[in-house]
Amino acid sequence: MKRIIYVILGAVMITGAACNKELGKLPENAKVDGNTILDQRTSEIALNGVYYRFANVDAANNVTKWFEHEVPPAAFAGFMTYGYGADNAEKNVYTNSSFGNVYWTSSYQIINAANGVIKGVTALEDKAFTGNRKKEILAEARFLRAYGHFKLLSYFGQWFDLNSPFGALLRDEFVTVGEISKARSSVKDSYTAILTDLDEAIANAPATNKSIYVTRWAAMALKMRVLMSHGQAADYPVVTALADSIILKSAYTLEPQTKDIFYVKGLASPEVILGIQPQQNQESYYYALSHQYWPGASSLYVANTNLKTLLANDPRGPWMIGSANRYYTGTYYFLKYIKEGTSPSILSETAYAIRLTEIYLLKAEAIVRAGGSLADARTILKNIMTHAGVTDFSAVDNATSVNELLKQLYLETVRNLVGEDGQEWMALLRLPTSLILQLRPTLDNNIRYILPIPHNEFLKNPDIGAQNPGYQP
């Protein structure tokens, strides 16, 4: 009997691709025959299906759903919350939080679709492709697989302990419902798998691409994130070298005014390394994410007092923090993406996975952690703050110890990257324990650093192993 492979494609992203109209076609019932990836054209179609999963497109409504990247990490870090009442995430309690089940399903959809592409394209002869396109397609798919696995390790694995058995549930083969049972991997093996994929992407991904597609620079950036979490002494010089490669050799440049990224240029900004383009007419969908920031629809996601206080004397405060939310005292409209009193637009629905600003901040953090020049790190930090319109650098200049400078780097990470792709949360957890407790007292146990694996996974996959420590299966 002919085997059917369910490569999860959905309605592929229509913009900017070599196959034009073909990239917009949805295979009947989202099924792709095992022989469907036949050549470069069909490989491109399948790859765009992985990007479709990366953008987390809701096929029923044809909208990208980047909510889980923008809101829950900011809530875990203590800067955003649900606008109609308190959520348990404010206390870093996840089992009863509406934000506590993020990334699991969406990450595995990315991973499984990427595995389908890797399997199908690998089986084709090189002569079926022009130039280096076969290697590029495989490299882009490996990046996307690494991205999904790293999300899972970061939110459901003890990423902070290289000796822990509680790593990610790695998937390196395409799976169907009947082939789902598998044990999770150790933290060490998880990092190895993720970094192997990223090294392949760095070596072979395109040097130039539209900002909604993967480049070798995006792979370098993601490797920087992974190595900062890996957190070994040998990692920091590599992070610095990767940053220098991106800053000095790529075409990306910092936006002169950070605000313009969100209110004027969007994906056209020269500092966007990887972004999410909205689907056609997405801005007219009533439940679009930016409509949930202002004025609120079925849901409302808002800044809390912590974020308002952090931005109180910052030039970003007036445009990022709006008026008080009348539904929940101590919260305020979050206006990073949409101006108060306006309607959703293609620009307000655009999302950002990686920006050049993050590269500079990670470089500065790596310098500090490696015992390098604090003065050099301060210079980098002040450069980033200058692009945001800051002129008062007294707190940075007074940060003369390692811990104090790490704190200032973290605070700028929040001010600059909050509500984008979770860096305000991961950067917090990388800090020394004393600083974590100072900034977020509810994080009094590293059990609270990660989420419980969803209960349904244990029902579907009896081989997965034990639940994360501190949680019930």
Q: Following DSSP, what letter does each residue of 281-348 receive, concatenated? A: TGGG-TT-HHHHHTT-SS--EEEEHHHHHHTTTSTTHHHHEEEEPTTSTTEEEE-SSS-TT----TTT
pLDDT attached to residue 13: 33
pLDDT attached to residue 28: 34
Q: How far is CA 229 from CA 26, 68, 151, 286, 364, in A?
A: 38, 20, 12, 38, 15
Dist. CA 58–CA 297, nearest whole Å = 18
Q: pLDDT over 90 for what percent of the chain?
A: 90
pLDDT attached to residue 176: 81
**pTM for this one?**
0.93
DSSP code, position 26:
P
Query: Residue 20: pLDDT above 50?
Result: no
Q: What angle do CA 62, 65, 68 make, to 5 degrees?
A: 170
- Which tokens is 367 given? 């310098």
Rounded to the nearest angstrom, the gap between the alpha carbon of residue 364 and the centroid of all alpha carbons in its chain is 20
Element housing 63 (H / E): strand 63-64
Query: Residue 452: pLDDT above 50?
Result: yes
How are beta strands 4-5 and 321-324 bridged, if at all? unpaired
Read off the pLDDT band of 216 (50, 70, 90).
very high
Is the four-CA dihedral 233, 238, 239, 240 of positive or negative sign?
positive
pLDDT digits (tens, 9 = 90+) for 183-212: 999 999 999 999 999 999 999 999 999 999
The pLDDT of 120-141, averaged and rounded, is: 97
pLDDT digits (tens, 9 = 90+) for 348-367: 999 999 999 999 999 999 99
pLDDT attached to residue 101: 87
